[in-house]
Amino acid sequence: AYTTDTKSREENKKTIESLYRLSVDIKKIRRLKEWVLLQDVAYVKEIAGILQEMGADESAVANILERCPEAILHTPAEINSQRALWQLVCQNEKQLIKLIEQFPESFFTTEYHENQKANILFFQELGLKNNIITRFLTSAPNIFYNPVGKNKNLIETLQRNYLRLGGSNANMKIWILKLLSQNPFILLNTSTAIQENLEFLQKNDFTDDEVLQLLSKLKGFIFQLTSTTMQKSMLFSKNVFKCSDQELKQLVLKCPALLYYSVPVLEERLEGLLKEGISVAQIRETPMVLELTTQIVQYRIKKLSALGYDIKSGTLESLNGTKKDFEVSYGKIQSKKERPIFNPVAPLHIED
């Protein structure tokens, strides 16, 4: 509960002096979070001392406080508790200070300390490795703010549905851990939303096995959608590709992006491909090309065209995949083009 009323307050001179001594760029703080400098109480020396104890040098301390100046408003006791908490999953203080440098906001959010602790212990019990939990703490800190009961309830909903869809007890733990590792934000959903989305797929004639396939292929992102957006996306694809419900289902299984992306995104990507002279029939044959942004598609077509490869008459497979996949395809086409027409060491059969 810090005041953000800047008009009637003056900067705390003691705070300014302490930050100045630590070579902190005060102008940067004024520009981004001036309200921090107006608070009556701040623990600049103490927080800097704790960071130095953990192994942060002068420039690291200055960098942390510039990026997350509200750190100085926490008491040393709060920060030491947070330090002990993160040490449950960090190998050592060297790793911890490195994480704080990269993600200061995540570390200095101490309001949910008890929830954070309960969730860390729960994830460890579940079998998640500490390096995965540290990744969650830095990239998806919100999931630790939930009461542990909510996260447990959600995991139980996923486990129950996995078994209901035909998954085996033996594989369930691996499936859950993989799903969480790929997309921890699943935990920000509600059990109701998960249930509704799975029911939507089943109503659209996806078999239990196909629903499990989609969950794994979409890395759980399906739970961040609604049945309305999925319905619209499927209808859009059905109209574009002029296909039956059964054919549409096969296209979605081949390319789950048709279900995941909203209509405006699919429209924009489709238009981008058509402008390059690619036909709807080609896209239907290789729908995975819609997973790529228009900019990536244009860049790849340009590179292939420079090798004399005509995308309009060929397959779109060479455009597909990750950056690494594309580089492999491109390399194969390039080496094919550069290969000599005859083998210089082979004997020439010349008729007498």
For residue 290, pLDDT beyond 50: yes
Sign of the Cα torsion 52, 56, 58, 64 reads: negative
Q: pLDDT higher for 22 or 216? A: 22
Q: How confident is the model at residue 339 (pLDDT cuts 50, 70, 90)?
A: low
Span 146-182, pLDDT tens digits: 999 999 999 999 999 999 999 999 999 999 999 999 8
For residue 51, pLDDT beyond 50: yes
Average pLDDT score, the chain: 89
Q: Give CA angle at 97 (93, 100), nearest 5°.
A: 140
> Helix, strand or coil for residue 204?
coil
In this prediction, residue 319 carries a pLDDT of 82
In this prediction, residue 148 carries a pLDDT of 96
Other Cβ atoms less than 10 A from the Cβ of 24: the count is 22
> Helix, strand or coil for residue 322?
coil
In this prediction, residue 69 carries a pLDDT of 95
Sorted by sequence, the CB contacts under 8 Å of residue 156 that are 6+ apart come out as none
For residue 59, pLDDT beyond 90: yes
Q: Are 43 and 73 in contact (CB under 8 A)?
A: yes
Q: Are 241 and 251 in contact (CB under 8 A)?
A: yes
Mean pLDDT to the nearest integer, 131-159:
94
Percent of the chain with pLDDT over 70: 93
**Residue 348 DSSP symbol:** P
Q: How confident is the model at residue 218 (pLDDT cuts 50, 70, 90)?
A: confident
Q: Are 124 and 155 in contact (CB under 8 A)?
A: no
For residue 5, pLDDT beyond 70: no
In this prediction, residue 246 carries a pLDDT of 92
Q: How confident is the model at residue 109 (pLDDT cuts 50, 70, 90)?
A: very high
In this prediction, residue 338 carries a pLDDT of 67
Q: What is the DSSP string of 96-145?
A: HHHHHHH-HHHHT--TTHHHHHHHHHHHHHHT--HHHHHHHHHH-GGGGT
CA distances from 131 to 79, 96, 99, 139, 321 (A): 21, 12, 12, 12, 28
pTM of the complete model: 0.78
Q: How confident is the model at residue 34 (pLDDT cuts 50, 70, 90)?
A: very high
The tokens for 233 are 């996306």
Mean pLDDT to the nearest integer, 198-213:
91
φ/ψ bin of 166: left (φ > 0), alpha (ψ from -120 to 50), beta (otherwise): left
Rg (CA), the chain: 28
In this prediction, residue 2 carries a pLDDT of 52
Sign of the Cα torsion 196, 202, 207, 208 reads: positive
Sign of the Cα torsion 39, 137, 158, 195 reads: positive
Q: How confident is the model at residue 315 (pLDDT cuts 50, 70, 90)?
A: confident
- Please state which of the ranges 89-98, 120-129, 219-228 shows the lowest mean pLDDT: 219-228
For residue 1, pLDDT beyond 50: no
Q: How confident is the model at residue 312 (pLDDT cuts 50, 70, 90)?
A: confident
Q: How confident is the model at residue 222 (pLDDT cuts 50, 70, 90)?
A: confident
Distance separating alpha carbons of residues 214 and 223, to the nearest angstrom: 11
- Please state which of the ranges 49-63, 102-116, 268-282, 335-349 shows the lowest mean pLDDT: 335-349
Distance separating alpha carbons of residues 120 and 348, to the nearest angstrom: 72
